[in-house]
Every structure is written in structure tokens, then in C-alpha cells.
Structure 1
Amino acid sequence: MSRPLTATIDLSALRHNYALARRLHGGKVLAILKANGYGHGAVRCAEALAGIADGFGVAAIEEAIQLREAGVQGPILLLEGWFEPAELALIERYELWTALHSLEQIDDIEAAELTRPLTVWVKIDSGMHRLGLAPADFRQAHARLLASGKVGRIVAMTHFSRADELDCATTPQQHACFVETLADLPVETSLCNSGGILGWPALHGDWGRAGVMLYGGTAADRLLPDWPRPVMNFDSRIIAVRELAAGEPIGYGGGFVTERPTRVGVVACGYADGYPRVAPAGTPVLIDGQRGRLIGRVSMDMLTVDLNDHPAAGVGTPVRLWGEDLPACEVAAAAGTIDYELFCNVKRAAFVYHD
């Protein structure tokens, strides 16, 4: 028997979420597969979206090559662009789209020996202050790229820093900066990540970039009748049961002490598997489908749960760590993080895919 920790990936839910993203956005939408499909398995997710997605987005070229060598067709955008000029040859070879975020990268294109024109997404810094050209530099960049003869298509893109905050003025301000920067230039546009797709329908451009919403994660404080469905069920089982008297410490540091006689379930999952070590006592779990709680400090390979309200639970009882009926965002909030991080950190689990 193998260790009873599984990440079950519902590919039909993934397809549902992509269709929802595309319907809400109204234009074309890239399915973002960076960080191994947010921990869900980039290749399997790309295969599930084949023939449905308008294209895919990854962080860097090694992620794109993995998809191409697995047989994934269609556009793949490098969201961080290239890191060395030599990568432009690989971008051409694997027929990739690429972001561009500095004037120095235009020098790379002008010096490159290319046999076919590139598709370049020019990133404009409208207020995120991470990657991107200063708005005042965009027109110069646009003109140089066209004059190089090595760029066949330009998409202007930006990234909203606070799209998940629907009562915040930052997103409209960034949008206004972006629109003013483009003025009358006839270029395609991409503005919205998941938060923008879900929360800012008036600001959608030609291309959306659906990331965490594809996987059922939270991206905006907006309730929808057809909310993105959870794609990952992260499940384990109880491997031991302890009967402790009141006043007994549990786990490393003894930070949790039983207040009454307590049945404790030991679950095969810990921070080495991606469960957050900082999750406090009281973090929710599902014990055989019923709400329960974490007690004691999370260890590398195990965590402990309170079985007092679960008299039928014992060795072998299933425990859901997040997924259907227990949103990852709820677990993440208890641990002071976000569901993105939970998804991306999952490892040492058996991945099971179904439609």
C-alpha cells in the first residue's frame, strides 16, 4: 500500500472554468499554465483544454518547451519574455509568443537572425511597478519593433495589481493610464487576469489571461451563479488514533494542549507535502465529509485533527484537506496565505486525473 495522499484533478471542472472565463471576458482568453499549471499538472491541463483554449501562458521558456515536446499545439505566450538573447532562437524554433518588458530587449530583437516574424506582447507598467515599459516609452518601442521587420504582430498588455479589490480605485486608474498610453495606436490589448475577468467587466480588452480561476481559486470579491469549480481535491486518511487526557500537549512545541479528554487522529500529510506549516489549530478539514478541525502543529509528514465530534472516525477514515465542500481559500485564509500558494506547493501526493 502506498501513502494515502492524493491530489485528484477534475479536468471537466477545468474545462468548465475556462468556458466561464471566456464567456465572462467576451474576447479571447489565454489559459495560464505557469508553475506546472498552478500545481495541477501543466501538460495534463493543456491536453484537457486542447481545441478549447485560445492559447496558453507560461512564465518562462522551459515551461513552454515542456508543453511543446508533449505535443501541445496552439499559441504559448512567455509571460516573462526571454532572459538571454540566445533564447530568441528557441522562441522561433518552438513557435512561441513572447512578452517584452524593456527597451534593451528591442536591441536583442534588432540584432537577432530570425527567419519568421515574432508575435510580441509589449508589457506596459501602468502602476504594478514590476515588469514593463514606462508608458512614455511605448510609442518608441512600438515604432522600433515595426521598423525592425522582425515582428509581425504586437499586443499591448498590462497587469492590474489590485483587481481582486472591487472597492479600490487603483484598477480604474491603471486602465486609464493604459488607454492614454495607447491613444490611437491600432494594437490588440490584454489587461485582465482572473481578478479582472471576474470583477471588472467594463475593462476587458481583446485578450484575457485566466490563471487561478481556471483551478477554482479565488480571484475577486464577486459572487457568480456559476462560480469557478474546484479542480483539485487534496485528500488523505487517518493513520493512527490517540486517546489523550485533558492537559496533554500535542505535537512539536506543545503549543496546543487538550482542554478535555480528546480523541486525536493522525493524518498522513504535512508541510513537506505542501500543507502550510503555519496553519493554526482550528483550521478546517473534512473528516469523512464532515467539518472538523486541525489541532497541534503541522509536522513535515503528518498533522493531527480533533475526533471528539467524529465518534465513527478511525484508522482509514478519509480526510479532505481542501477541495469540494472545503475551498482552498478558506484553508489559506486560516494560514495567512492565498490559495495560489497552496496549489503550487502540493507534492509527494499521487496525482489522479479524471474527466
Structure 2
Amino acid sequence: MNAVSRILMVGIVVVIIVVAGVTYWYLSQTPTQATRIKISGAGSTFMAYFVQKAAYEYAQKYPVDIDYAPIGSGAGIQQFLAGTVDFGGSDAPLSTQQWQQAGDALHIPVIIGGVVIIYNIPDLPPNTHLNFTGQVLADIYLGKITKWNDPALVSLNSELKNINQPIIVVHRSDGSGTTYIFTQYLSLVSQEFAQKVGYGVSVNWPAPNKIGGKGNEGVAAQVKNNPYSIGYVEFTYAVKNNLLYGYLENPSTGEFVEPTVKTIAKTADYVSLSLPSGDKDWSSISIVKSFLELAKTNKNLSGAYPIVSFAYIIMHKELSKVPNMTKEKAKALVDFLKWLVTDAQQYAEPLYYVPLPQSVRNLDLQTLSMVTFNGSNL
């Protein structure tokens, strides 16, 4: 090999070494699975489709992985208070006692949805949508109406007159924000239900012929697998599982309203809620209660579906209180939540939720601006 060839060979080797070094440096600067920030949340199954879709899309844009476990609002609140997750998810606001226990809890509404009545009656023609009043639903869940051909049901749905079958009542077996919303509605329309059962994330159901299901998906599965059953789920779960759902009486107009994104949004639009600052007690906030109160005096609230609620992210104002929290992770969580209540709202309607009104988005951004880590703003 002559001198020129040797020089060329050495040059090629040098180039290879330089390229390899640059490539290694570049890869070391590119976010990998090992360098991605991990954030954990748990709670509401009501909003799980939305939060998980948003988390997936966010992970495509940024080196942040949001692990959201849909374990029910009750368990989500417990894990938030215990400090085992970075944030909780709930359709029920914290009670005053829970809010005081947390010390600095923030409520961040992230979505609006509806609770719908699902049923499985194989005798009926396909796509038969039954009508329900609040009182009839309360009597079913009280165990006072036990058959599908009960006169109270037949008066609303003539097609049920020959369905001489016992009603199987399906309810949530876990602590549930969906149960909180549904039982609050039943308590407001039925004094007997309010006195005998009341409302909360867990209640004692008096109906004798009953089955429990874990999560919204569990209730949907129980109704799907048990003929002559009835249950309550967030609207998305009815659509995703191809389950029939009922039309519900609007107490303002007396019309029976189909649950849709539009009719759920109308309810939220009719109600002029005066929302507190995100760091205050939200225990009294209820779209259901506000709508039913308004309907007593305003008889022009047409096209509104009555059982509607916010779903909330619940987090600490001072994030250093959360075990294993770092400043980098705290900032990543706040940035994700800012995106969740703004840009990510585009994913709401395709999943049968209602996007937040601009006023609520603005309130959320004000709340998130309060968040600190070791006293410093993020």
C-alpha cells in the first residue's frame, strides 16, 4: 500500500470515528424511554376515555408519559389524599372534610359529560329507546318498581305492557363519581330516595334484585350480559358498548330528551354556575342541582338532558407535598394540565363529551398558575 492509500485509509477511519461519535452524542441528547418523565394519576372512569386519549396524544409531542388508572372516583380521591399518585380524577368534588384534610387541594374541571340509563330487554325491537322520569328511576332503584310491565313504566312506554319480567338493577360496586352524580339526581327528584338512600360515591342500594359492576365498564358489561337489566353509565360507555339508552324527562318542559353531546351541552349552557376559585371548597358545585333548581321556575329550558356533570382533576397546590415529586416533574404535570384544558379539548366531542366553555378554561389556567414547588411558581 503506497503513502497516498495509507493517508486515504487513515482519513476514512477518522471520518467513521467522528460520525460514530456525533451519532452517539445526538442519540444521547434525544429523549428515550429512560429519560421520559413519568406522571401518575388515578380515579374517575367517567372521564377515562378523554384523559387516556389526551395522554396518548401528548406523549407523541413531548417526553412525558401520563399513566392514568381508571379505578373509580372514590379510590382516586383516596390515592390522592394518601399521596400514592401525582393527581386524582373524580366526578364528585371533594367533600368539605376531604378538602380540609388535603390542606391545599385544587379542583380543575377538565370535561363535561352525562350519565345515561342503559338497559337490556331482548323482547323489544332493535333501537327502542324507552322514556324515564326521575321518579320512576328512583322507584326502580328503591325496589318499589320490580317488573318491566309495572303500570308506571307502561304509562311512559306502551311497548312494555307484555314484558312480564323482573328488573335486574345494576349499580356500581366501587366508590364512584358516576354514582355520586346519579344518586344526587335521584335524591333531588325523590324525597323518599333522599331519605332512605341519599347520595354519595357509595350508597346502600335497597332494590332486592341487584348486581354490582366495577367501573363504568363493569356496569356496561353487567347490563350487556344480563337480560332485563337496567344500569347507569357515563354516555361514552353506552355508545362504545352499543347499548340502548333511555330518554329522560326534562322537568322544565316535560319533554323526554335523548342524551347527545348537544343536549348535554345545553344543560351546562342554561346553568349559570358561579364557580369558586380553584383553591376553594367545591363541595357545593353541581350542574344537576343547579339545573333542577332553575327548572322549577323556568319552563323554557328545552332540549336539555338533566344528568350532567363536570369531571375534575384534583391536585395539590404545593406539589413538593407529593412523594417523589421533583421540580421537573411538577412543571411537566402543570404543562400537561394546561394543555388538557385548552388544546386537548378538541378530543372531547368525538368521544361524546362536551368541551369546557371558555370561561371554565380561563378559570383552570388561573388555578394552574397558583401551583408551586417548594414555594416557587412553575
TM-score norm. by structure 1 comes to: 0.27
Larger RCO (alpha carbons 8 Å, 6+ apart): 2
Bigger proportion of residues as strand = 1
Bigger proportion of residues as helix = 2
TM-score norm. by structure 2 comes to: 0.26
